[in-house]
Structures are given as C-alpha cells and as structure tokens.
Amino acid sequence: MTTSARTKELMDLVNQQFPGALKLASDVEFKTTMVPTGLAPMDDIWQGGFPLGRHVMLHGDYSTLKSYIGLCLIAAAQKENKLVALLDTEKTFDSAWAKNLGVDTLNLIMPPKEKLATGEKAIDLMESLIRGGVDLIVVDSVAALLPSAEYGKSMEDAKQLARQADMLSKAMRKLTAAMRNTGILWINQTRTNPNIMFGSQETVPGGRALPFYCSYIIGLYHSGSAKEDVDVWIHGDDGKPVKKKIKSITGMRIRVVVKKSKLNKPLRETTFVYDLEQGKIDDWSYLANKALSLGLLGYERGKWWTPEDGKRLNPAQFRGHVPLEKLKEMLKGTVDGVESAGSAPAAKKREGRRKPASSPATAPEPTPTPVRATKPSTVRTTSKSSRSRTQQSPTALTSHTSGAYAKKLRRKVNLGS
C-alpha cells in the first residue's frame, strides 16, 4: 500500500502553516518499542516485553512479586543501555537485593527519601526526568504517594475524600503531555471495598484516572504453592530413625491476569511458579507447561518426552535433556496469546465439551424416561379448562412435573376434581 495523493496534498497544506504538525501513522514515532524483561511469563503476557512510551499498572496482594518484577525490568532495561529511574515511595529499596537481581546500582537514578515526602514532589521529579530523556521510570508504589494536603497534619483532622485521586488525576495529564518515549511502571497495592455486595470487592488506591491512562493493567494473585516429596528421618516408636516422605513447599504459584490491554488481546491469564530455593521465577517449568498445552511435549504418569525421540524421562532428567534455550526455540513463533500454563488452550477446551454431530441415519434413539407408576382412575371433565388440564395421564404428569405443585396436580387428577 502507498500513500495517496490526497493524503500528501492535505499534509503538505497543513505543514506549510504549522511546520511538522502532521505525520503518517507509519512513522517510526508511532511504533512501540519493547524491552524484554527476561521473565518468560511477563514477556509472554506483554507479547515481547515492557512497552516504552506507555503507562503500565501492576497491582496485587502482598508478596505477589510486584517489586521483584520491577527490579528485573530495571536490570533488563539497563542491559540495553536505557536510562532508568526508580521512585521508591515505600522506602523499602535494598541495594544488595537489587544487585543480586542484576541491577546496576551505579547507573540507577533514585531521588533521596526526603525528596519523596509528598506525592506532588514525586510527580514534579517524574516530569523533569521525562523531559530530560529518561527511558523508564518505576514507581513503587502508587498507594504510598502522600498528598500534600495530608502532609504535616494530625490524624485527628477532618478527612477530605479523594485527595490522592485528585492528585493523580492532575498528575496523569501532566506526565502524559510530557511523555515521548518514556515507559512508566506503576506498582500498586489492592484494597477491599465493603460497599460492593455482589462481584469482586477488589479495588486499587489512587482513584480511576490511572487505569484509564494505562495501556496495560496486570493483576497478580496467589494461586497455591508448589510441593515436592522429600525424604526425612524421624524417630520411630522404638527410638530408631525411620525414613518418611513428606510434602515440602518449594515454590509459590502466582496467577497473572491481563485486565486491560491496548496492544494485544485483553482478559487473558497465566500461572507461573516462583522457586523459593533459587529465589527466581522458574522459567523452565512455565515454558515446558506451555509447550505441553500446545502439543509440543508429552507428559504422562510423571514422565516427560518429546515427539522426536519419544524417550520418557523423569522431570530432573528431562530438564537436562531439553534445556531452557531449546524450549524457547521450540515455542518461538508458535503462540498468539497466552493460555493458563499446564492446561490446554481455551478453544480446544470448548471443542472437547461439544458433542460430535451425528447423521440422522446413525443417530441413536432417545432412551425413554423411567416414570413412577400410579393408580389408574376415571377422570371427569366439567369445563374447558379442566378438560385441557386432564388431557394427560397421571403418568405423563409425573414424568414432566415435579415438586409440591406436581403432587397437588396429580392428586386432583386421581380424585377427578
């Protein structure tokens, strides 16, 4: 496809009056740049990585890896020579843990704690960073942004509603107007709204302006724990050590839900495991379950195999036989969307529930419904309504009606009323 003459003529006419005012949508300025996080579940959800030039909100309960994902994103962006800033409004940043996750603390921009005393100061710093050309800003978290109207006041003072919402509503307009190619990750907490009687009571601090400006809204939820059989020695009744198998928790399962998406399909979800022993997300198990759901791997009774060789191996042996890089190569270009790890795609599930259509010649005859026998009686009809009501036999009424009304109706028919 080529640009039409009318389009060029109109653009030239407007650009003569307002130089550089109009560009074509195919211009590189309107293409979204992705930064891979190195976390397989998040790159899968974001379809390639974190989008720059966009607002993204990540919210969830405590201990659902929100700050962990933010630090991993910072480390991945620094590897691509991006300028990154972190606003630690919760004041929980630890440089040793950040270095352990691959963050280059010598090149990470962070304002001192006293400069984040109020939310308005934090927003002004963010606007200055955006205009200065920073590539990524991580805010941890939205709930800790303190409005200046609350700063320095006593807890006994009268509460003014929606202070934080009003502050963020103004902040989103200012920041979005200043943004060019800066990505902002807003980490948020969750609250419970007791006024909602039906449906989810979950809500997030900061009002409703932030969700409207976000290109992604990602929810993180606890989804159980990963357990393995471990051999332990205990003292028996006779005092001698006895070997026993117990279930040991080796990881926690996190469910990721895409609540809003302006770049790909929304309302998707997946599940991954955070390995407690290694202190990181288990990318291998996530990709292996995904390959299994797509039919690229086989699994039965604790044994894994590939369709190429068919050699059945236990999980530990199979990890060495099919390493992480081979799984990534296997899944490259085969997935358009995200299904729950370890389960079949949604379309296949629907097909499995659907009954196969059969031709009229081979269709089985319907099985007659067993009914309860009742005493035959002579039925007298005295009016048109009663005649229509007693057209059926007591047996037919028994098979098509139930409950107190059916008993009453059968009693009337048997008594001839």
Q: Which backbone phi and psi does 380 adopt, to 5 degrees?
A: -105, 135
SS3 state at 308: coil
How many other CB atoms are there within 10 angstroms of residue 270's CB atom? 24
The runs of H, that is alpha helices, within 1-114 are 5-17, 40-45, 66-79, 95-100
Average pLDDT of the chain, as a whole number: 83
CB-CB contact of 272 with 41 (8 Å): yes
Residue-wise pLDDT for 204-234, tens only, equals: 999 999 999 999 999 999 999 998 888 888 8
Any idea which of 4-8, 154-158, 318-322 has the lowest mean pLDDT?
154-158
> What's the pTM?
0.78
- CB-based burial of residue 46 (10 Å sphere; 0-12 exposed, 13-18 middle, 19+ buried)? buried
Any idea which of 27-31, 160-164, 282-286 has the lowest mean pLDDT?
160-164
Stretch (H or E) spanning 56 = strand 55-60
Nearest to 103 by CA among 127, 126, 128, 136: 136
CA 410/CA 395 separation, integer angstroms: 9
pLDDT of residue 397: 42
Sign of the torsion angle spanned by Cα atoms 125, 126, 130, 135: positive
Residue ranges with strand state E in 78-197: 84-87, 108-109, 136-140, 183-188, 191-192
Give the Å distances, CA to CA, from 151 to 71, 157, 205, 350.
Answer: 28, 11, 17, 54
DSSP string across 222-246 = EEEEEEEEEEEEEE-TTSSEEEEEE
CA 165/CA 119 separation, integer angstroms: 11
pLDDT band at 107 (very low <50, low <70, confident <90, very high): very high
Q: Is a pLDDT exceeding 70 seen at residue 70?
A: yes
pLDDT of residue 334: 64
Q: Which amino acid is at 119?
A: G
Any idea which of 22-26, 228-232, 351-355 has the lowest mean pLDDT?
351-355
CA 97/CA 114 separation, integer angstroms: 22
SS3 state at 252: strand
How many other CB atoms are there within 10 angstroms of residue 151's CB atom? 12
pLDDT of residue 412: 57
Specify the residue for token string 């009687």.
Answer: 197
Kindly state the average pLDDT of the residues 34-49.
94
283-293 and 324-331 helices cross at what angle (nearest 10)? 40
Q: Which letter does DSSP use for residue 313 in this model?
A: B
The runs of H, that is alpha helices, within 297-402 are 315-321, 324-331, 346-353, 384-389, 394-400
Q: Is 342 left (phi over 0), alpha (psi -120 to 50) or beta?
A: left
Q: Is a pLDDT exceeding 50 seen at residue 373?
A: no
In angstroms, how far is CA 293 from the centroid of its own chain?
18
CA 42/CA 195 separation, integer angstroms: 33
* Proportion of the chain above pLDDT 90, given as a percent: 64
Q: Which residues 6+ apart lie within 8 Å of 116 measured at CB?
A: 87, 88, 89, 91, 122, 125
Stretch (H or E) spanning 249 = strand 241-261
CB-CB contact of 23 with 7 (8 Å): no
Gyration radius from the chain CA atoms: 32
Q: Is a pLDDT exceeding 70 seen at residue 347?
A: no
